[in-house]
Amino acid sequence: MANAAAPETVFALSAATPPVADERPTRRVIHGRVLDDPYSWLAAENWREVLSDPATLPDDIAALVRAENAYCEAVLAPLGGLREKLQAELRGRIKEDDSDPPWPDGRFAYFDRYREGGEHVLYCRTPRGGGAEHILFDGDEEAGDTHFFDIGQVDHSPDHAQIAWSVDDKGSEYYSIRTRALEDGEDRPDIVAHTDGSLVWSADSRSFYYVRVDENHRTTQIFRHDVGADPSADVLTVEEPDPAWFVSLHRSRCGRFAIVAIRGHDASECHLIDLRDKDAAPRLVAPREAKLLYDVEPHGDDLYIRANADGAEDFAIFRAPLTSAARADWRPVVPHVRGRLIVIGTVYARHLAWVERENGLPRIVIRDLVSGEDHAIAFDEEAYALRLQPGVEFDTDILRFTYSSMTTPEETYDYDMRARTRVLLKREEIPSGHDPRNYVTRRLFARAADGAEVPVTLLHRADLHLEGGAPTLLYGYGAYGHPLSASFDSHALSLVDRGFVYALAHTRGGTDKGWSWYENGKLERKPNTFSDFIAVARHLIATGYAREGGIVAQGASAGGLLMGVIANEAPELFAGIIAGVPFVDVLNTMMRDDLPLTPPEWEEWGNPIADVAAYDRLAAYSPYDNVAAKSYPAILALAGLTDPRVTYWEPLKWAARLRSAMTGGGPVLLRTNMEAGHAGASGRFERLEEVALEWAFALACAGRAGA
C-alpha cells in the first residue's frame, strides 16, 4: 500500500484550484425511474455545428473547458521536465525518414514514406523495374500550417494517371475528397465534402464511389462522383434508411467490384458494384438475417464468403456461384471449429489465405485452390501479433504480412504461397537502440469470478526484480469484438525501462478467445468485462507482478468506460487511471438517438429508451451515474473537442461530478484537445506529446516521477 500515498507527494506541489462547474439540475422520469443530471447543460445544443467549427462552442462551456485545461497543466507543471525528456525519448525510437516496402501494381511500384522531421506521409511511386521516385502526394506540404490534418485515403486510379485523396482538417471525421492529375500535379476544382474518407475508383478511372456522412454523422449512402463534375450531380447508388446500420466501402481483391458492406453489431449484408459498368445496379449477395454476419471476396465465377452461417459461431469460409449467391447455394470450404476464430480472409488468383486466432494467438493459413492443400506459417514466440497486408495485385503468389511481439519490433515479409518461403523486406528500426534479449514477454491466465480464464500478456525487463511487486500499467478495452494485439509498442519501453510491468488484459467483450468471448462481454453480460479486468489486476497482485494500490489502469473510448467502472468498483487497487476519450456517460448517451453512434450501438449496449431492462442495466454501471462519496485514485481524462464518437461533454461532466462527490484521493484532471477529435493529434510527432503526458502521469502515480 506504500504506493497509494506516492501520487499525493507529486501532485500536491501544485496549489492550483480545480474549476467548479455550475450545477443546473435537470430531472427526467423514464420507465418510472428518476434520472437526475446536474451537468446536462454541458452538452451543447449546437454540437453538430461544433464538429465543423469548434469556435461555435457556447462561451460558458468553452470557458469551463479552457479552465480544465489550465488546471491540468498547473497540476502537472512539476512534471514538465519529465514530459520533455519522455517526448525526446519517444521520438528517438522513431526512424524519421522511414519508408514502407513498395507494392507492385502494373508498371509501377507504390509506397509510403516520411521525410526527416516530417509529420505526415508522402505517397510515392517508381517504375516497377527501378527508376526515379515521383512524389504523388506530399502530406507535409498539403497540411501546411493546419493544426489538424488527417489523411483518410490516397489511391491511384487504375490507369495510373491520377490520384484521389481525402482529408479531415478538424478531427470531426468529415473528410473531403479531391482528385489530382499526375501529369501536371494539379488538383481539379471539384471537392466532394462530408464523406467518411474511403473511395473506390471505377475501372475506366473516370469516376469513383464514396460514402457520404449525413447531418447526424452517420454513414448511410454510397454515391458515384464523375471526375471534374459538380458534386451536387453525384449519383446515389446504395442507401440504407435504418440508422442502426453502418455503410462502408472497399475494393474487391480481384479489382472487378466495389464491395458495399452494410453492418450492424450482430448482422450484415453485402452488395457488389460492378466497376466496369456504371449503369449496372448494385447486386445484393444475400439479404440480411438476424445474427448472420458475413463478408465476401469475388474470385472468377465464384464468391468466397466468411460467415457465421449454419451455427458457425467462430466463422467458416463458404463458396457460392457469383451469379447466385443465395444462402442455399453456400458450400463450406473451410469448416467451423469452435474456439478457432477465422478473423479475416482474402483470395488471390491461385490461393485462399486467412488469419485464424485460437486462445488469443493468431496464425496464417494458406490453401492452394487447385490441390486444396492447406499449410500454416509457423512462429515461435509465446505471444505475438500478425497482420495481413494483401497489397494491390490479384494474379500473384506473394502474400505480404507483418509479424511482431511485445519484445520484437515489426518485421515485414513477402511470403511465396507456392514455394512456402518467406523473404524479410523490412525490420522496424529503433534508432536509439533496442535489444529484445533485455525484455521478457509472458502469457498468463487470471481466473474470473465465474471461473473463466482471462488471458494476460506481460512485458517487463529481464533484469526486473519483482520482490514486493513492481509498478504496473494495465491496459484494457473489451468491446465490439476487438481483440488486444500482443504487438510491439516502442512507446511502452519508456515505462518498462523505468521498472514497470506493462500488461494487457484480454477481457471478455473482445474476440481474443473466439466469438463467444465477445458475446459474453456485451448487453446483459457486459459486467463480465469489468469483473475480468479487476480479476486480472488482483491476479497480478497475487502472483507478485504488481502490488495493491500500485497499478495504473489505462483504456480509451469503450476502454474509457471500463476505466470509469473500475474507478467506482475497485478504487483501492489503483494508483492512477488514464481514461482516453472515455465513454463514461453511457446511460444519457444511449438515450439520445440523435447522436452519431447511438442507434447503431443499441445492439452492443442495449436500448434504454425502449427497454426498461436495458435502462436498469446501464444505470447500474454507467460511470457518471455511479460516482459516489469515496476516495478515488488520481485520474487523467483526455478528450477531443470535435470528437463525434465520444462527445467532449462526457469526460467534462464526469470530472465535475467526481470532484463534487469524492471524499479524498485524486486529483481529477481533464485535458481536452481543442484542435482534434477521437484519435487525438494527427501528426506523428505531435502525438508523442500526448503519450509523454500520459506516461509522466503514470510515473508520478507510481512514485517514479524522478526515474
| CA gap 498, 136 in Å, rounded | 42
User: What's the chain's length in residues?
Assistant: 707
Cell of 467: 520482490
Placement of cell 500550417 in the chain: 145
Category of 106 on φ-ψ map: left (φ > 0), alpha (ψ -120 to 50) or beta? left
Rg (CA), the chain: 25
CA atoms within 13 A on the CB side of 607: 9
Rounded CA separation 437/444 (Å): 20
Torsion on CA atoms 610, 613, 617, 622, rounded to nearest 10: 30
Strands 631-632, 664-665: pairing is parallel
User: CB within 8 A of 173, min separation 6: which ones?
Assistant: 196, 197, 213, 217, 644, 645, 677, 678
Pairing state of beta strands 551-556 and 501-505? unpaired
Residue 669's closest CA among 635, 644, 633, 645? 635
Pairing of strands 175-181, 192-201: antiparallel
- With the C-alpha atoms ordered 263, 317, 324, 390, is the resulting torsion angle positive or negative? positive
User: Residue ranges of the alpha helices (H) in 76-127?
Assistant: 80-92
- How far apart CA 399 and CA 372 sit, in angstroms, is 18
Instruction: Tell me the β-bridge partners of 180.
Output: 163, 187
Which residue out of 156, 225, 265, 678 is catalytically annotated? 678
C-alpha cell at 492: 511502452
First to last CA, the chain: 20
Instruction: Using DSSP, state whether 496 is helix, strand or coil.
Output: helix
Question: Is 557 annotated as catalytic?
Answer: yes
Is the peptide bond between 667 and the residue preceding it cis, with omega within 30 degrees of 0?
Answer: yes
3 state DSSP class of 448: coil
Cell of 230: 459538380
Q: How far apart are CA 623 and CA 698, in angstroms?
A: 21
d(CA 530, CA 621): 9
Q: Report the SS3 class of residue 181.
A: strand
Q: Of 190, 404, 643, 682, which one is the catalytic site residue?
A: 643
Number of H helices, E strands in the chain: 14, 40
Instruction: Judge whether 469 and 545 are in contact, CB under 8 Å.
Output: yes
Check: CB of residue 188 under 8 Å from CB of residue 199: no
Contacts of 55 (CB under 8 A, 6+ apart): none
Question: What cell does 413 get?
Answer: 515479409
Q: Provide the grid cell at 313.
A: 459461431
Among 494, 557, 622, 682, the one annotated catalytic: 557
Q: Is 643 one of the catalytic residues?
A: yes
Q: Which residues are part of the catalytic machinery? A: 557, 643, 678
